[in-house]
């Protein structure tokens, strides 16, 4: 194994494998397990930097291990400027968040090991997603991030808002992730590969498969919109603030919400020429940008303000790729990096304030500059970066953003004009809530809430936001420091040559608009202060999360009604519904298919196959007698014995056809089923025997059962006769028999089909059985007989217990 492979394993696989170890270590280490977990993001950062130095940027490197090569699915990773940029952000901010969490989470928090396990798993899943070269592997890690975020958001599961936020995040991102999977499969059907490096090198046949690939593009974009909280799927992100603050800082600044941005950047070279690329991305993303900014201005919760501002900025980052020119974009990394700096910093500041004061409503805060002067300075720099003040990366980002959006307005007509209006209005609103965030926390007089609950935070917890604010200030003053890294991270097809950044470009249209935006935004802030922000409230009509929860409740009620209507909770009543539906659909299609070719099939049928075989006929007759006995006899014990006899005779029938594997499987199933039924009946209450007395089927129901049973028999017999009359030329069984040794390295065809050719199918069946078994064990363990049930009388004997139960039923 070469050095690059080992380094990649250390960066991605090591934290993935370490997650359960961290959870176990938390039992003995307690709070100190955080420092053990802290080592893994540090290792990832160091290894990724070493990989970048070894591969020689700009350029790309593919590292691959086979997984399911027959389906084109491999453990394949692509290291280029885009993947390394996002991977370094994920692991770099991870270092700060892990350090911050070690001081933020005090001894009152429980399950430190579990928390750092989830956080490490989250980081590993993010790294796997951004580094994946195989689209299927990308999807697997994509969904793993959703699972890890569900665990993190719902970490404080004793709180209702945590459970609601986790559920919303899982359902929305999980559903849109399935849409992404559909888009990936559609791309594979056209190109025959999941390999991103191959797709980026050869491009997509957009002209030959325009409609098909357009649908694939839209499905993949829906996956990105769900992950990056674009309108109208934005509401899960503010509710994710129920998670502990380290999670919020990580999730909003560097990880999951950036995946939609990453996906748009990754597929930009593939779909940018599609005529719907720009309209869809621009319309959705820039609308989200303005909508999120307004909601941030109307919010009063510290985390909600930052959450909605994240929704707004994500809208711009995605829309930026929508209006990007065909030859590539220029400053996408600057905009993303700027958001990482100020948003990660402000979330950590908000967490420190909430931890120190116990207050999360911005209207109840103020005057904290005297108690936390260092934190006030950090927040001032971060808020200035968010507002786009000179001397910060926010100013560089805003100036280039205005320049690019004005150019897009000339090239995209009405769409460009709409995007420009959204950007300018959003910038104005962002200035207003940036002023508010800093002033209402640190300026003015201390409130009673602050005086009553304040306790000074440790200086160490302020170090991570200090580093982020310092980076925003340093690179804002000396933007030339970014020139070399951005050049190294250039990706062919995504980027065009980038002009160097500078603080002063003269008096330009962008500068004048920027000055006007700051002045008007400050005016909105003054208006809010003088009116005590009484007008700032999110209208109920815009609370999409309430509509979502209401929809879930209605869906739950509908499913319960449908269950009662179809009698799905009554297996004895539901089974005829299923069988009748099957006979109607399958039987109807069979009649339509057989009618034109019935005569031809009759002439091709080999009637000698119906010649009776003495021993087989005898066994079949015994099976029939056993089944008839089940129908005629009434006691359940006798019926159970006869069913078992029919099953064991079926085993012998398989032996006569020289199928020992099927025979062994059948006998195992019969034995296990018999024991399970006996155990289950033994756990029933004594009154269950009354089923023989008060629950006899009506004559009409008996006739229906006979008709359905005969219908199933006729249907299956017709199937067998049809398939034997018109066998397929390329029999699947012949393929398995001929290739079992070469492809599956086994001589037993049945075994190789189960564990190799259809291995995933078998795994799914085992999983279903395991879940059913655990559910059954849980039900059995919860049931306990009461003393009254024991006094009802022995099961199966017409004693006082049954008489007493009959009287109760009457």
Token pair recorded at residue 241: 């603030």
Residue pair 124/19 in contact by the 8 Å Cβ criterion: yes
**Which of 641, 644, 636, 640 shows the shortest CA–CA distance to 670?**
644
User: Distance between CA 245 and CA 249 in Å, rounded?
Assistant: 6
Q: Say what the pLDDT of residue 800 is.
A: 40
Q: Which of 220, 222, 243 is nearest to 231 (CA)?
A: 222
CB atoms within 10 A of CB 484: 9
Q: Partners of 61 in the beta sheet?
A: 79
Range of weakest confidence among 2-11, 15-24, 477-486, 612-621: 612-621
**Distance between CA atoms of residues 280 and 225, nearest Å:** 11
Largest Cα–Cα distance in the chain?
A: 103
- What are phi and psi for residue 159, nearest 5 degrees? -100, 135
256 class by beta-carbon count within 10 Å (0-12 exposed, 13-18 middle, 19+ buried): buried
Alpha-carbon span 11 to 123, nearest angstrom: 10
Helical segments of 633-758, H only = 636-656, 660-683, 691-694, 699-725, 732-744, 749-752
User: What mean pLDDT do residues 58-73 have?
Assistant: 86
Report whether 542 contacts 290 (CB < 8 A).
no
62 sits in which H/E element: strand 61-68
With cut-offs at 50, 70 and 90, classify the pLDDT of residue 109: low
Structure tokens at 626: 């056993």
Whether 296 contacts 305, CB under 8 Å: yes
CB-facing half-sphere around the CA of 560: CA atoms within 13 A: 6
Residue 1: pLDDT band by 50, 70, 90 thresholds? low
Question: Residue 254 has what DSSP assignment?
Answer: T
| 496 backbone dihedrals φ, ψ, rounded to 5° | -115, 165
The pLDDT value given to residue 409: 76
- pLDDT tops 50 at residue 196: yes
Q: How confident is the model at residue 790 (pLDDT cuts 50, 70, 90)?
A: very low
pLDDT of residue 313: 92
Residue 225 pLDDT level (bands cut at 50, 70, 90): very high
Q: What is the mean pLDDT of the chain?
A: 85
Chain centroid to CA 601: 50
pLDDT confidence of residue 215:
94
Residue 583 corresponds to which tokens in the numbers above?
């006979």
Name which residue leads in pLDDT, 157 or 786: 157
Mean pLDDT (whole number) for 532-555: 88
Confidence of residue 726 (pLDDT cuts 50, 70, 90): low
Q: Cβ distance 594 to 601 under 8 Å? A: yes
Asked if residue 394 has pLDDT above 60, the reply is: yes
Spatial separation of the C-alpha atoms in residues 414 and 733, rounded to whole Å = 61
The whole-number average pLDDT for the span 686-698 is 55
Q: Is the pLDDT of residue 22 over 80?
A: yes
**pLDDT at residue 791 is higher than 70:** no
Q: Which two tokens stand for residue 704?
A: 């229906």
User: Cα separation of 239 and 159, whole Å?
Assistant: 13
Backbone angles phi, psi at 372, to 5 degrees: -130, 70
Q: How big, in percent rounded to 5, are the helix, strand and coil portions of the chain?
A: 75, 5, 20
What count of other Cβ atoms lies within 10 Å of the Cβ of residue 56?
9
**Per the structure block, which two tokens stand in for 130?**
């951004």
Question: Measured between alpha carbons, how far is 650 from 673 in angstroms, rounded to an integer?
Answer: 15
pLDDT of residue 686: 58
Q: Are 338 and 394 in contact (CB under 8 A)?
A: yes
Q: Give the range among 182-186, 332-336, 644-648, 697-701 with minimum mean pLDDT.
A: 697-701
**Cβ-based neighbour number of residue 786 at 10 Å:** 9
- The pLDDT confidence band at residue 194, using thresholds 50, 70 and 90, is very high
Question: How many contiguous H segments (helices) and E segments (strands) does the chain have?
Answer: 34, 2
Q: Is cis: bond before 708, omega within 30 of 0?
A: no
Tell me the percentage of the chain whose pLDDT exceeds 90: 35
Using DSSP's 3-state secondary structure scheme, residue 154 falls into: coil
Cα-to-chain-centroid distance, residue 502: 41
Q: Is the pLDDT of residue 794 over 80?
A: no
N-term to C-term CA, the chain: 78
Contact 312, 434 (CB under 8 A): no
CA distances from 111 to 104, 152, 385, 590 (A): 14, 12, 36, 59
Highest-pLDDT range among 212-216, 238-242, 255-259, 633-637: 212-216
Q: Which helix (H) or strand (E) holds 74?
A: strand 73-79
**Residue 214 predicted with pLDDT over 70:** yes
How confident is the model at residue 415, as a pLDDT? 84
User: So what's the pLDDT on residue 806?
Assistant: 41
Select the more confidently predicted residue: 277 or 595.
Answer: 277
Task: Give yes or no for residue 176 having a pLDDT over 90.
Answer: yes
Are 209 and 192 within 8 A, CB to CB? no
Residue 252 pLDDT grade (very low, low, confident, very high; cuts 50, 70, 90): confident
Q: How far apart are CA 564 and CA 560, in angstroms?
A: 6
Q: What value does the mean pLDDT take over residues 39-63? A: 90
Contact 617, 653 (CB under 8 A): no
Per-residue model confidence as pLDDT tens digits over 587-617: 888 888 777 766 665 565 555 555 567 888 8
The tokens describing 340, both together, are 């990482």
**Total count of residues recorded for the chain:** 810
Which runs of consecutive H residues, i.e. helices, occur in 30-111? 33-55, 81-104
Residues of the chain above pLDDT 70, percent: 91
Q: What is the mean pLDDT of residues 299-327?
A: 90
Which among 316, 307, 312, 308 is positioned nearest to 335, based on CA atoms?
316
How far from 174 is each of 222, 568, 572, CA to CA, in Å? 11, 27, 35
Whether 524 and 428 have beta carbons less than 8 Å apart is answered as yes
762 CB burial (10 A radius; 0-12, 13-18, 19+): middle
Asked whether the CA dihedral 30, 32, 34, 37 is positive or negative, the reply is: negative
pLDDT band at 799 (very low <50, low <70, confident <90, very high): very low
Nearest residue to 532 via CA among 420, 449, 436: 436
pLDDT recorded at residue 574: 86
- Decide: pTM greater than 0.95: no
Residue 793: what pLDDT? 46
Residue 125: its pLDDT value, please? 94
Write down the domain spans for the chain: 275-535, 567-601+685-723, 631-683
Tokens of 84: 């390394």
Tens-digit pLDDT profile for residues 609-656: 555 678 888 888 888 888 888 878 877 778 888 888 888 888 888 888
Residue with tokens 């690019």: 404
Q: What is the pLDDT of residue 314?
A: 93
Cis peptide leading into 58, omega within 30 of 0? yes
């Amino acid at each position: 194994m070469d050095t690059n492979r080992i380094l990649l394993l250390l960066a991605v696989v090591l934290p993935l494998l370490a997650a359960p170890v961290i959870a176990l270590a938390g039992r003995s280490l307690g709070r100190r397990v955080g420092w053990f977990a802290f080592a893994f993001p540090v290792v990832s950062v160091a290894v990724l930097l070493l990989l970048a130095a070894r591969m020689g940027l700009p350029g790309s490197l593919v590292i691959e291990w086979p997984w399911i090569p027959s389906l084109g699915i491999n453990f394949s990773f692509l290291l280029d400027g885009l993947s390394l940029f996002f991977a370094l952000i994920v692991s770099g901010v991870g270092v700060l968040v892990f350090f911050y969490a070690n001081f933020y989470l005090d001894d009152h928090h429980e399950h430190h090991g579990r928390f750092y396990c989830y956080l490490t798993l989250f980081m590993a899943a993010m790294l796997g997603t951004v580094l994946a070269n195989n689209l299927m592997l990308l999807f697997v890690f994509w969904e793993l991030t959703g699972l890890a975020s569900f665990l993190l958001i719902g970490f404080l599961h004793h709180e209702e808002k945590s459970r609601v936020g986790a559920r919303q995040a899982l359902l929305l991102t999980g559903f849109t992730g399935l849409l992404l999977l559909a888009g990936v499969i559609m791309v594979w059907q056209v190109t025959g590969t999941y390999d991103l490096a191959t797709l980026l090198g050869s491009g997509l046949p957009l002209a030959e498969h325009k409609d098909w690939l357009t649908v694939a593009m839209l499905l993949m974009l829906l996956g990105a919109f769900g992950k990056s909280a674009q309108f109208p799927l934005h509401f899960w992100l503010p509710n994710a603030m129920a998670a502990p603050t380290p999670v919020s800082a990580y999730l909003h600044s560097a990880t999951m919400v950036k995946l939609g941005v990453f996906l748009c950047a990754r597929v930009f070279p593939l779909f940018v020429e599609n005529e719907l690329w720009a309209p869809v991305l621009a319309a959705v993303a820039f609308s989200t940008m303005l909508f999120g900014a307004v909601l941030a201005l109307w919010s009063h919760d510290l985390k909600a303000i930052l959450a909605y501002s994240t929704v707004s900025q994500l809208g711009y980052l995605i829309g930026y790729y929508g209006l990007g020119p065909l030859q590539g974009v220029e400053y996408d990394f600057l905009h993303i990096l700027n958001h990482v700096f100020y948003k990660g910093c402000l979330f950590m500041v908000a967490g420190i304030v909430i931890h120190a004061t116990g207050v999360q409503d911005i209207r109840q805060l103020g005057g904290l500059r005297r108690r936390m002067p260092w934190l006030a300075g950090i927040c001032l720099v971060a808020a200035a970066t968010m507002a786009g003040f000179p001397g910060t990366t926010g100013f560089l980002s805003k100036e280039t953003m205005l320049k690019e959006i004005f150019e897009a307005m000339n090239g995209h007509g009405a769409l460009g004009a709409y995007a420009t209006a959204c950007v300018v209005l959003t910038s104005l609103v962002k200035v207003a809530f940036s002023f508010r965030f800093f002033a209402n926390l640190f300026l003015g007089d201390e409130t009673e809430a602050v005086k009553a609950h304040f306790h000074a935070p440790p200086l160490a917890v302020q170090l991570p936001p200090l580093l982020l604010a310092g980076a925003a200030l340093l690179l804002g003053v000396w933007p030339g420091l970014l020139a070399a890294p951005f050049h190294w991270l250039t990706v062919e097809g995504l980027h065009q040559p980038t002009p160097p950044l500078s603080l002063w470009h003269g008096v330009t249209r962008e500068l004048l608009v920027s000055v006007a935006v700051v002045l008007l935004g400050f005016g909105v802030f003054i208006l809010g202060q003088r009116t005590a922000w009484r007008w700032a409230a999110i209208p109920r009509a815009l609370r999409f999360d309430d509509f979502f929860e209401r929809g879930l409740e209605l869906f739950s009620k509908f499913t319960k009604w449908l269950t009662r209507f179809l009698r799905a909770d009554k297996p004895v009543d539901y089974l005829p519904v299923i069988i009748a539906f099957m006979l109607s659909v399958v039987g109807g299609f069979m009649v339509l298919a057989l009618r034109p070719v019935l005569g031809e099939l009759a002439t091709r049928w080999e009637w000698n196959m119906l010649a009776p075989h003495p021993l087989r006929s005898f066994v079949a007759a015994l099976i029939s007698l056993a089944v008839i006995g089940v129908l005629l006899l009434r006691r359940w014990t006798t019926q159970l014995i006869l069913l078992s006899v029919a099953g064991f005779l079926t085993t012998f029938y398989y032996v006569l056809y020289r199928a020992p594997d099927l025979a062994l499987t059948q006998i195992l199933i019969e034995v296990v089923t018999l024991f399970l039924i006996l155990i289950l009946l033994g756990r029933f209450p004594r009154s269950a025997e009354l089923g023989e007395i008060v629950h006899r089927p009506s004559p009409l129901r008996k006739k229906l059962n006979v008709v359905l049973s005969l219908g199933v028999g006729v249907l299956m017999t017709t199937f067998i006769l049809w398939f034997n009359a018109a066998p397929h030329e390329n029999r699947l069984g012949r393929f398995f028999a001929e290739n079992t040794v070469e492809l599956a390295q086994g001589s037993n065809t049945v075994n190789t089909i189960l564990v190799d050719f259809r291995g995933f199918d078998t795994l799914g069946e085992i999983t279903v059985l395991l879940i059913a078994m655990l559910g059954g064990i849980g039900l059995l363990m919860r049931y306990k007989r009461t003393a009254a049930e024991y006094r009802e009388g022995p099961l199966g004997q017409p004693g006082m217990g049954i008489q007493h139960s009959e009287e109760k039923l009457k």
